[in-house]
Amino acid sequence: MRAADFLLVTFTSVRDQRMRSALTALGIAVGIGAVVLLTSLGEGIHRFVLAEFTQFGTNLIAINPGKTSTFGVSGAVISNVRPLSLDDAQALATITGVRKVVPVVQGNAAIEGGGRQRRAAVFGVGPAVPDVWQLPVAAGRFLPDDPPRTARPYVVIGSRLRSELFGDSPYLGARLRVGGELYRVIGGMEEKGQMLGFDLDDAVYIPITKAMALFNRESLMEVDLLYASGFSADTIAVAARNLLIKRHGREDFTITTQEQMLESLSSVLDILTIAVGALGGISLVVGGVGIFTIMTIAVNERRSEIGLLSALGASRLLILGLFLGEALTLAMIGGVAGLFLGAGGAWLLGKLIPALPSHTSWFFVVLAEGCAALIGVLAGVLPARQASRLPPVEALRAE
pLDDT per position as a tens digit, 12-49: 777 777 787 788 788 888 888 888 888 888 778 777 77
pLDDT tens digits along 317-330:
887 888 888 888 88
The most confident of 56-70, 211-225, 284-298, by mean pLDDT: 211-225
Task: Using only the alpha carbons of the chain, give its radius of gyration.
Answer: 33
pLDDT tens digits along 239-263:
999 999 988 888 888 888 877 777 7
Asked if 198 contacts 133 with a C-beta cutoff of 8 angstroms, the reply is: no
- Of 125, 163, 127, the closest CA to residue 142 belongs to 127
What backbone torsions phi and psi does residue 23 show, to the nearest 5 degrees?
A: -65, -35
pLDDT bin (cut points 50, 70, 90) of residue 68 is: low
The DSSP code sequence of 16-34 is HTHHHHHHHHHHHHHHHHH
Nearest-angstrom CA–CA distance, 128 and 101: 7
∠ Cα 119 122 128 (to 5°): 155
pLDDT bin (cut points 50, 70, 90) of residue 393 is: low
CA distances from 390 to 49, 322, 382 (A): 58, 14, 13
Mean per-residue pLDDT, 318-347: 84
Report pLDDT for 194: 66
Nearest-angstrom CA–CA distance, 91 and 244: 9
Report pLDDT for 142: 93
Amino acid letter for position 137: V
pLDDT bin (cut points 50, 70, 90) of residue 339 is: confident
Asked if 226 contacts 59 with a C-beta cutoff of 8 angstroms, the reply is: yes
Intra-chain end-to-end CA distance of the chain, in Å: 24
Asked if 226 contacts 132 with a C-beta cutoff of 8 angstroms, the reply is: yes
Nearest-angstrom CA–CA distance, 109 and 286: 55
Report pLDDT for 198: 64
Q: How many CB atoms lie within 10 A of CB 390?
A: 20
pLDDT tens digits along 90-104:
999 999 999 999 999
β-strand partners of 231: none
∠ Cα 348 349 351 (to 5°): 65
Please give the biggest Cα pair distance in the chain. 104
Higher pLDDT, 297 or 176: 176
Kindly report each contact of residues 229-237 with a partner whose C-beta sits within 8 Å and lies 24 or more positions away, as own/partner: 229/59, 230/97, 231/97, 233/59, 233/61, 233/257, 233/258, 233/259, 235/97, 236/61, 236/95, 236/97, 236/98, 237/61
Sequence-separated (6 or more) residues with CB below 8 Å from residue 304: 395, 396, 398, 399
∠ Cα 32 33 35 (to 5°): 65
Nearest-angstrom CA–CA distance, 348 and 354: 10
β-strand partners of 230: none
Nearest-angstrom CA–CA distance, 110 and 121: 9
Mean per-residue pLDDT, 182-211: 84
Whether the per-residue pLDDT at 217 is higher than 80: the answer is yes
Instruction: Give the β-pairing of 116-125 and 203-207.
Output: parallel
Asked if 281 contacts 31 with a C-beta cutoff of 8 angstroms, the reply is: yes
pLDDT bin (cut points 50, 70, 90) of residue 394 is: low
Whether the per-residue pLDDT at 196 is higher than 60: the answer is no
Q: How many CB atoms lie within 10 A of CB 245?
A: 13
pLDDT bin (cut points 50, 70, 90) of residue 373 is: confident
